[in-house]
Structure 1
Amino acid sequence: MLPKSKNSKNSNASRKRPRSQDSNSAADTTAPSDDVAAPSSPVKRPRLDTDAPTEAAPEVDTDVVIAEADDTPATESAASQPEMIAKIVRRIKLVNLNKYHQTKDAKKWLLKQQAVKDQPWVEELKLKKAPKSQFAIITLPTEESHQAALEYLSSLTMVDKGQTVTVEEFVDEIKARPPRQIDVNDKRTPLERIADQTTPHWRLPYEEQLTLKKKVVHKAFDEMRKQLKDKKLRVPIADVIASPETKGYRTKCEFAIGVNPAGERTVGFNSGAFKAGEYTVVSPRGLLHVNDTMIEAAEIIESFVRQCTDLPVYDKTTNSGFFRLVLMRTPSTGQNMVVLQANGEGHTPEALEAFEQKFLAHFKDASDKRKLKVHVLGVQYYSGVHDQFAPDVPVKVLEGPADATVEETLFGFKFTISPSSFFQINHAATEVLYKLVRDWAAEQRTEGEDKETTLLDLCCGTGTIGICMSPGNYTKIIGIDIVPEAIEDAKANAKRNGVENVSYLCGPVEKMLGTALSEAIPNSQHVVVLDPPRSGVHQSVIKSIRQCSAIDKIVFVSCDVKQAVTNFVDLCRPTSARFQGVPFRPVRAAVVDMFPHTKHFETVLEFHRVEPEASEEEAKAEASGDEADVANRS
């Protein structure tokens, strides 16, 4: 296991790009963390049982307005920052698209145009489109691919919803920092460096990690008060609920295949800064969040890759090579999944089939010796430039069910997981989180009230929260999500588990909410569970919730409370022309540590609808500029 430094509060001023909580991918670790830096003193190896969570009952405090010390390290001074450099970026603009297209829809439409999907540059293409805009932006990594795409797309006649789509080029001059230079004074071992990138709080005692996470919530609520101009707003926050498991808790990881600092082929995590010319792969053995099953499987594949000297590992600098990455899932059911991703370009079908049989034989023999059980063993052939598992590329199953799925359970309910499915990666903590949401949503607002309840599961995904809440006192559960595949999975999950009081609607929440309310039980209590992506939901969703007077309670689940502040504020703003409907007020909050040794966690916040009379007085007070009156009524 990793040692802990004496100096647990050293900091690294280099910034780290955000990463998804769902996937600890090979691409997630190519930049150093801003939480923990290289230790300046020799490292000792203390016992690691000191970071186990305590079982004391959580105490409740009230979010208070105080100037707390920042738990993030100070950045370099302006004088020490490298001088910004100008960078020319050429992009392609598609104009007159259907304004209701999301980015995914626009890309699907583009790929259906004449032979676009067959062009050599299509795998490198990145397309973005803002909601309700009529244009999309295409970016390609090289001048050659940009020019080829521009010429080809300009030669096409493209029509979307009756409008002729035009192709334009525009050039941006942006300011950027030069590549970070390698720190020659960094004395950390490769394992310590990768630990600082993947689990930046690993040096801290677990209780101290929980304290830091609670401070982040306090600061987010300070910002909410500031934006609402309501200094006396208080939100009771319970102590952070510790993860039942703090070691080996991840049930999904993506491991890169490359070379370690000694030049040996390795399966693990990317270390260093690729742009600075420093790029190696470090074994995951010793990292606190990776379980033994994954480490064993990674080492089996590593031994196989080292044997295949005729097949090179993938090289990011040249976008060439064969072995790319490994995706693993280790659900609580023991139905483990291992998928090897390789670049099949330039290899005949016969050669790939021979490779598959060799890989299957090696893995079965080695896993039998290690007593490692794998439910799905597969390969994915991908020749694109992205260092991640490709969700749209099929998996060829070498052993296991043809659909390459495994099973996970939550509260006894069974869920099917494919290689690219979103599913929480800490099983034990997920049940803690969902139980909290279930309990809060089930409580009646008025003591002694016993009304039928309709649960609106917004941004429901594959339906896990709603299905897990179905045994509660809900007459009807209605899930809404914009992704058709997620809705189909949710319906299948409900049918598989025999849940009959749930139905699903596909479309934007703001458009489907009216339909959902028409299907709800008349005169029932309407409770919303909202579990959006990291960035929260669009303002239009918040406005539609406010305008639905039947909704008087919301349980909001946020995986990034700092980004969700905008949604919190919009729910609570006084009634106005822009924000119609009676506002809500936060009544309590809780924090669940789903990701020990990292900065990430889940925040649950309960909102109640403000009494209409109080809301009207508050709106009048704000309109007259009497902030003190507003505060007294909060």
Structure 2
Amino acid sequence: MVPENKGGSALELRIAPLPKPWSTYELAEWLDACGAPASDFVLCRTAAGMDHGYATYADASLAYAAQKLLRQCARVGKLDSASNAKNQARKLDVYVYARNVSLNTKYVQLFGRPEALPTSGGDAAANTTSTTTTSDDFVARDPRDAVAPLWRWPYANQLSAKFRTFSSAMERLTKHIAKSDGDDNNDEDDDDDATKKKMMRKKFPCPCFGIVRSPRVHWYRNKCEFTVGYDDAFQPTCGFQGGRFADGFTTITKATDVPTASKSARLYSDALSSFLRNDGQNEAKTQLPLHFRVWDKVQSCGFWRNLIVRETGMSADLEATDLSWRDYLVAPDALPAECADASQGPTATAADETITSEFGTSTGTSFGSVRPSSVMLVLVVSPAAALACVRARGLASSGSERDACHRLVTSEVQRMVDFVDRAADEAGDDVPRAGAIVVLYHDGCANCAPPNAPMEVVRDDVMAQADATTSEQNAAKERYSLSFASFTPGRGALDESLLGLRFRVSPLAFFQVNSAAANLLYRAAGDLAKEENRGDGGATEAVTADVLYDVCCGTGTIGLTLFPSPFPRLVGVELEPSAIRDAWENAARNFDAEKLRDDAVTFIAAKAEDALPKLLRDRQGGGRAVAIVDPPRSGIHHKVVSALHANREIDRLVYVSCNVETLVDNAVRLCSGEKGFVPVGCLALDLFPGTVHVEAVVVFERKKE
């Protein structure tokens, strides 16, 4: 689809990828060499670590002609004429995007093939049909394929694919451990050599329980992040992007059919789209400068950027049961032997029928969509856009620009809040009104706002009703010097129930996105931390330890579920200060002062690689300790690995991972040497149905002397 060309307005081309060493001068030189000199603005962004540049042409006919010439020049290697590009030229493919400058942010990816483009003259609108193609290289992806690429697969096939990923990683760990043991014992006898070879042939380095299926396969996410932009018809839209911006995906598609998003999240996303399209275009809105429209990634301008919908209470049906993670365990031999190709949409297999008959529905889930108990909306907006609007309209003539910006943002956000409230009311009892609404101010290039982004609470009806902190708990906060200097309990947060405890969830705090499956994950991690069970079906024996170290503790969820029994002391370490504040609040609201006395619970806001080595050094000779690590996808820092490996008082370690590759890398170091760890049990879990991701839990014990 070609943008409308009003009055011969200029069009801007986005050209990517370009050689990293290029400067703006070299880009302009190459455009001249290709016979497509820019009419006006030229900018190369490679110096900023990006791979693209921009060129502006006076009208659509010149822009389309330039697109054809640039693509042809890229194919024949004309980039060789520019300096520093000779070794990269033939590897390049130039993609050109057009943006109608006068329309601000209304840009599209040109779908046309080079031979279909006009070489000169002609009306842009007349070429709409000829410049459109069904080439898979250019057609925008279905958002379901971007968000949940396995959504067409029967659930048994999904579990099988994920278990294969998990077992492949465990097999790699087995080989590393066998090789490391061999290197540590160069004088091994023939029997030891035979044992090593036997281990090399094993798939798992320890007994494997299997894979735990998710109690809910569809509509399970308690947190959905939506992008605000334009769809392929240039309508303001809140939804999902079809792929990475760097790969050429710019249009936004509504989340109506995305199977992972809850009903509430989809309704609020659609409501914001409707507001931006309808109510957002009334007379008051059209008087605002173009800077106050939706965010434009190319120009880095616009007001509305993102919408985050967070929900709680989505695992209430599971909480009401006595089911454990073992009730959802699927043995490896119950999975399909082979996985079909996702693009073909695999049909149900005998194994899928087995899972169906055992667990309920055709997708392998026992629970359907549930009504959340509370909803939070986090709106990410650009303060620079508001400032530009204030200056353009002269709104600060009677006061400071900051006050004028705040009034303008408050007015605009309140209009949006009123609109989405009406949408929620019209939906009936299935979707509650948002009890907490927070505005985040963010002007960076990336969509995601940083943890320290300025925040303003617009509405906070959730925690005010849920927070019933007793005087004893308030006294506990003062007794243990909890740092609440910049924190007001209940401000802009949700209240979540998990394993019988209540947890505060801040707008940007990490919390597992699948509440029902998180129940099973934490139960499994807790059982494996406190029970001597090697996965062989034998009797379990309780672990006795003086302290539990919860590394990368987040809001303290795992550690607090294991305190004070079986672990009488809890030490949590987390980088994000707001998560630590939530952890302190969670401890105080779930346990009375008697249980929290004598520093029984400690949460530290610091890098784990800085705090943990000192903590372990300070408690030398303090008795047995157990550690749980739940790191981000990048794994744990090598200093943390070294500290865990060196401190022999930690004789049991539970590693929870969302990335089996980094798990293996860390585990190889943990298991090295005669005083390292050895894996004694492992388990896979599906926390993200419809995606390729798999969660893993591996239990390690210290090698016996």
Judge same fold: TM > 0.5, yes or no. yes
**Residue 507 of structure 2 aligns with which residue?**
419
**Residue 312 of structure 1 aligns with which residue?**
293
Q: In the alignment, does 2:462 pair up with 1:462?
A: no
Cα deviation for residue 422 of structure 1 reads 1.0
Aligned match of 1:336 in 375, 394, 404?
Answer: 375
**Residue 21 of structure 2 aligns with which residue?**
88
**Residue 259 of structure 2 aligns with which residue?**
288
Aligned match of 1:302 in 267, 273, 290?
Answer: 273
**Residue 364 of structure 1 aligns with which residue?**
421
Cα deviation for residue 537 of structure 1 reads 1.2
Letter in 2 for 1:593: D
* C-alpha separation in 2, matches of 1:542 and 1:468: 24
Aligned match of 1:429 in 505, 514, 517?
Answer: 517
Contact 2:146–2:243, Cα closer than 8 Å, also in 1? no
Which structure's CA Rg is the greater one? Answer: 2
| CA shift digits 1:516-537 (9 cap, x unpaired) | 4577697643211111121111
Letter in 2 for 1:259: Y
Q: In the alignment, does 2:650 pair up with 1:551?
A: yes
Looking at secondary structure, tell me which structure has more helix per residue.
Answer: 2
Q: 1:186 to 1:410 in 2, by over 3 A?
A: farther
Contact 2:609–2:638, Cα closer than 8 Å, also in 1? no
Contact 2:149–2:692, Cα closer than 8 Å, also in 1? yes
Q: In the alignment, does 2:276 pair up with 1:216?
A: no
**Other structure's SS at 2:297 match:** coil
* C-alpha separation in 1, matches of 2:245 and 2:524: 41
Cα deviation for residue 538 of structure 1 reads 1.9
Cα deviation for residue 571 of structure 1 reads 1.0
* C-alpha separation in 1, matches of 2:672 and 2:558: 28
Q: In the alignment, does 2:702 pair up with 1:609?
A: yes
Contact 1:254–1:388, Cα closer than 8 Å, also in 2? no
**Residue 231 of structure 2 aligns with which residue?**
260
Q: 1:284 to 1:432 in 2, by over 3 A?
A: same
Contact 1:190–1:282, Cα closer than 8 Å, also in 2? no
Alignment map for 1:31-180 (pairs within 5 Å): 86-88=19-21, 178=93
Cα deviation for residue 604 of structure 1 reads 0.2
* TM-score, scaled relative to structure 1: 0.65
**Residue 386 of structure 1 aligns with which residue?**
446
Name which of structure 1's ranges 562-571 and 253-262 shifts more when overlaid on structure 2: 253-262
Gaps of 5+ in 2: 1-15, 24-44, 55-82, 97-110, 114-132, 180-195, 200-204, 287-291, 314-371, 391-403, 462-489, 535-539
Cα deviation for residue 339 of structure 1 reads 2.5
Q: 1:566 to 1:524 in 2, by over 3 A?
A: same
| CA shift digits 1:55-80 (9 cap, x unpaired) | xxxxxxxxxxxxxxxxxxxxxxxxxx
Cα deviation for residue 515 of structure 1 reads 5.2
**Residue 684 of structure 2 aligns with which residue?**
591
RMSD: 3.5
* C-alpha separation in 2, matches of 1:482 and 1:391: 11
Q: 1:457 to 1:408 in 2, by over 3 A?
A: same
**Other structure's SS at 1:336 match:** strand
Q: 1:364 to 1:461 in 2, by over 3 A?
A: closer
Cα deviation for residue 510 of structure 1 reads 5.0
| CA shift digits 1:563-619 (9 cap, x unpaired) | 2211110111124xxxxxx0111111001100001011210001111112xxxxxxx
Aligned match of 1:346 in 372, 388, 393?
Answer: 388
Letter in 2 for 1:351: L
**Residue 659 of structure 2 aligns with which residue?**
560
* C-alpha separation in 2, matches of 1:325 and 1:335: 20
Cα deviation for residue 257 of structure 1 reads 1.6
**Residue 441 of structure 1 aligns with which residue?**
529
Letter in 1 for 2:412: F
| CA shift digits 1:503-560 (9 cap, x unpaired) | 2344444554465457769764321111112111122222221211111111111110
Letter in 1 for 2:239: G
* TM-score, scaled relative to structure 2: 0.58
Name which of structure 1's ranges 395-404 and 242-251 shifts more when overlaid on structure 2: 395-404
Q: 1:439 to 1:257 in 2, by over 3 A?
A: same
Contact 1:179–1:276, Cα closer than 8 Å, also in 2? no
Letter in 1 for 2:170: F
Cα deviation for residue 495 of structure 1 reads 1.4
* C-alpha separation in 2, matches of 1:408 and 1:239: 29
**Residue 117 of structure 2 aligns with which residue?**
none
Contact 1:477–1:503, Cα closer than 8 Å, also in 2? yes
**Residue 206 of structure 1 aligns with which residue?**
155
Letter in 2 for 1:321: G
**Other structure's SS at 1:86 match:** coil
Gaps of 5+ in 1: 1-82, 91-124, 127-136, 145-170, 576-581, 613-634
Alignment map for 1:316-327 (pairs within 5 Å): 316-327=297-308
Alignment map for 1:480-629 (pairs within 5 Å): 480-498=573-591, 500=596, 501-509=600-608, 512-513=611-612, 516-517=615-616, 524-575=623-674, 582-612=675-705
* C-alpha separation in 1, matches of 2:542 and 2:293: 68
* C-alpha separation in 1, matches of 2:573 and 2:249: 45
Q: 1:188 to 1:443 in 2, by over 3 A?
A: same
Cα deviation for residue 448 of structure 1 reads 6.0
Q: 1:282 to 1:588 in 2, by over 3 A?
A: same
Contact 1:251–1:426, Cα closer than 8 Å, also in 2? yes
Cα deviation for residue 256 of structure 1 reads 1.3
Aligned match of 2:495 in 407, 413, 416?
Answer: 407
Alignment map for 1:189-200 (pairs within 5 Å): 193-200=142-149
Name which of structure 1's ranges 207-216 and 178-187 shifts more when overlaid on structure 2: 178-187
| CA shift digits 1:246-270 (9 cap, x unpaired) | 1111111111122222332221001
